[in-house]
Structure 1
Amino acid sequence: MLIRYLLSHALSLLGNSMAAIALPWLVLVRTGDPAAAGVIAAVSALPMLLAAVAGGLVIDRFGRRRTSIWADLASAVAVAALPVVDQVTGLTVGWFVVLGVAGALLDVPGMTARESLVPDVATAAGVGLERLAGLREGINGVVLVVGPAAAGGLLILFDPTTVLWVTAACSAAAALTTLTLPARLGRGSGEAGGGIRTELLKGFRILGGDRVLAAMTFVVTISVLVLAPLQNLLLPVYLVGRDSPGGFGLMVAFLAVGGIGGSIVYSIAGAGLSRRTVFVVAQLLTAAGTVGLALLPPVPVLLAAAALAGFGAGPMQALALVLVTERIPERYRGRVLGLQNAATTTAVPVGTLVAGLLINGIGLRETGVLLAVAWGVVAAFALLVPALRRLEPPDDARQTADSAVDREPTVESASSVD
């Protein structure tokens, strides 16, 4: 069961990572307009946010396993529709927007559903939550290196539509693999049936009622707000300006390899270590590496900083997954994780937009210094905030969260959209 879950996760992520390379290339080849890819990404941003929030309600009502299966199947259909339309009528910007939005609506709930399955799989397979979370993050690192590289290699040999057929096959294979998991795994509770506003309020109450969850969500979201523009904008501009585009590929590879190493170490030793110790060491390593990246040093130092940041982020991401999943009551797990994913999804374009404005306004290196300072503030908050000093699981964590929701007055579903 453990292997099948990890395989389905790897296949789904592989398809998405390959599509992230092949789709913009196809847009450029078919439209000849470099700005079209940006328009499609911008138009897809709001549906992704809405899907992250609403998808959590679907997961809680209909089940984590079932939602994961249907999301991957639907994603495969949306991707496969692109080469079909290309053959029948030809792809236009309008088709790219429609099918891009459809894909965005499906990918985020699928990601949340697979994430919310982690505690169920760990219990059913008889493995520790730390071990499974570490293995999952390690697979993320491997796939995010292999996927884009494979897509780039296939684009040299084949038309972009052929590559999209491969990505659609990956999503379909992920769904079929998840289908082999026991049907009892991650069943829906029917809890998300009282109206959208009512059920989202319950999710917010869970987040606000648990100081650890609230602090961790804040730290992760602000971290993404800083890291996204660093990786997506600042470093590419810096390395292209140094006439070292290959350096960016190496930097991404070193970041991923460091993350894989950190995740593997956590999966092996995490259960036997104090969570506070893991948290502090991971924060310090990530902070040192991230500040090193933001200060835009020479390429050899940049690569070392990338490996250090990745090594610290590997266990940090796994630990965050452990903390949020063990503290969320099962019947609210999907909607709470959906809200968290919505926050991080929104942070990526917002951070990139702000960094772009800063680069144009004050300069590249000055923006890097601001990002380094911002990360230092985030790291200091994470290390000093009282809520994140006691990370061991209290026996009554979920019961307390349940009580916090039950004590709140409910909003009548007649005033909300069912």
Structure 2
Amino acid sequence: MVRRFLVADALSLLGNAAAAVILPWLVLVRTGNATAAGTVAAASALPMLLSAIGGGVLIDRFGRRSMSVIADLGSAMSIAALPIVDATIGLNLGWFVVLGVAGALFDVPGLTAREALLPEVARASGTPIERVAGLREGTAAVVLLVGPGAGAVLLALTGGPAALWLTAATSALAALVTSSLRVRNAAPGTGARPARGNWWAEVAEGWRTLRDDQVLVALTVLVTASAALVGSLLGVLLPVRLAATTGPQWLGAVITAIAVGSLLGAGLYAASGARLHRRTWFVAGACVHGAGLVLVAALPGPPVMLLGAVLAGAGGAPLSSMLTVIVAERVPDVLRGRVLGFQNAVGLGVAPVGMLLAGIAVDRFGVLSVSRLMALAWAATILVVLALPALRRLEAVDAHHR
């Protein structure tokens, strides 16, 4: 069962990764306007953010497996509609925006539904949840390594819209595999809950659950801040620096190094996550991840930068896996989708803001000054987080809500 779950997750992520390469290229070719690609991405941003929150409510109402299947089928249809429209009436910017927004409405709820489904897969298969979380993180790292390249190969082989049929097929196949999982679909309706139909009350209940748990808040802030920093480094600071020095080819090498490190860290956590104290994992992961990001942010020569990227990935993967495990333990089953939805929404919202602020700061103060300031700020952040009393209590809690 764990293998099928991982295959479904990999297929869904692979389709999204390939589409992220194919769609911008197709927009540019069909419109002849570089701004158009940015317009499609910007138009999809707000619906994606809202769907992360609203999707959490739907997951808790209708079930994790059901919503995962629906989301993957919706994503497949959104992608498949592009070559159909292109072959019939022709694609233009309006169609790219409409179908891009439609795809965005399905992608994040699907991701959230699979995250919410993970504890049920672990429970039904008798596999330690740490192992399943580590394996899933490793699967994501593999997709990061091969997904963009697969998209580029499809473009080279098919020349355009036909490549989208294969990406749509991966999402449809993911839905098929997920539907075969024999796990508890929805949480039993225990505990006091607002009546169904009171949408905002259900959203607020999920927010309060996350807000009132100091451990979840601290870990969510740490992982989100890390994602924002990585996005700023890869999206702004490194391209600016490398364009003026060694050349853009090293940017791809840094991304690959992060993925390799993530694969190593995830494999180690999958193998040993349940054997060591969580505080040990947390301290080791935070220190290794923090040291790696500080090295990258210092913008050294390529060898040191690649070493930092590997360390950042190796330390970050156990932290992300731990967050999955701790959410499963600390959040009642009937609220898991909403809490995960809020966490994903925060991550989606913070990353582009961080890139925007980094770009403004680089234009004003220069890339070296900004990068070194970010390195110092991140080092200080890690020291503060390690000292937080809330993060000294990471061991398993009594899972009465299960």
Deviation at 1:335, TM superposition (A): 0.6
Decide whether the 8 Å contact of 2:223 with 2:319 is kept in 1: no
Partner of 1:186: 185
Partner of 2:166: 166
Deviation at 1:15, TM superposition (A): 0.3
Tell whether 2:387 aligns with 1:387. Answer: no
Deviation at 1:213, TM superposition (A): 1.1
Decide whether the 8 Å contact of 1:63 with 1:189 is kept in 2: no
Partner of 1:10: 10
Tell whether 2:365 aligns with 1:345. Answer: no
Partner of 1:125: 125
C-alpha RMSD of matched pairs (Å): 1.5
What are the within-5 Å matches in structure 2 for residues 15-414 of structure 1?
A: 15-182=15-182, 184-187=183-186, 193-395=196-398, 398=401
| SS of residue paired to 1:272 | coil
2:178 partner letter: T
Decide whether the 8 Å contact of 1:278 with 1:315 is kept in 2: yes
Decide whether the 8 Å contact of 1:215 with 1:388 is kept in 2: yes
CA deviations over 1:105-137 (Å, ceiling 9, x no partner): 100000000000011000000000100000000
Decide whether the 8 Å contact of 1:67 with 1:110 is kept in 2: yes
Q: Which runs of 5+ in 1 are unaligned?
A: 400-418
CA deviations over 1:140-183 (Å, ceiling 9, x no partner): 0001111101111222222221221111010000000001112x
CA separation in 1, counterparts of 2:245 and 2:270? 38
Decide whether the 8 Å contact of 2:187 with 2:333 is kept in 1: no
1:163 partner letter: A
CA separation in 1, counterparts of 2:272 and 2:187? 33
Mark the CA change 1:284 to 1:95 in structure 2 (over 3 Å): closer, same or farther.
Answer: same
Decide whether the 8 Å contact of 2:330 with 2:399 is kept in 1: no
CA separation in 2, counterparts of 1:24 and 1:5? 29
CA separation in 2, counterparts of 1:122 and 1:233? 39
TM superposition score normalised by structure 2: 0.96
Deviation at 1:396, TM superposition (A): 5.8
1:94 partner letter: G
CA separation in 1, counterparts of 2:124 and 2:180? 14
CA separation in 2, counterparts of 1:135 and 1:48? 26
CA deviations over 1:334-353 (Å, ceiling 9, x no partner): 01100111000101111111
Deviation at 1:194, TM superposition (A): 4.2
1:187 partner letter: A
2:262 partner letter: G
Partner of 1:414: none
CA separation in 2, counterparts of 1:196 and 1:380? 40
CA separation in 1, counterparts of 2:252 and 2:94? 32
Q: How many residues align?
A: 398
CA separation in 1, counterparts of 2:200 and 2:154? 45
| SS of residue paired to 2:132 | helix
CA separation in 2, counterparts of 1:148 and 1:111? 18
Deviation at 1:201, TM superposition (A): 1.4
2:162 partner letter: T
1:216 partner letter: L
CA deviations over 1:47-66 (Å, ceiling 9, x no partner): 01100000000000000000
CA separation in 2, counterparts of 1:375 and 1:153? 37
Decide whether the 8 Å contact of 1:23 with 1:160 is kept in 2: no
Decide whether the 8 Å contact of 1:62 with 1:188 is kept in 2: no
Partner of 1:406: none
TM superposition score normalised by structure 1: 0.92
Query: Segments of 4+ in structure 1 off by > 6 A?
Result: none
Deviation at 1:241, TM superposition (A): 2.3
Q: Which runs of 5+ in 2 are unaligned?
A: none
Decide whether the 8 Å contact of 1:223 with 1:378 is kept in 2: no
CA deviations over 1:234-272 (Å, ceiling 9, x no partner): 112222222422211111111100110010001001110
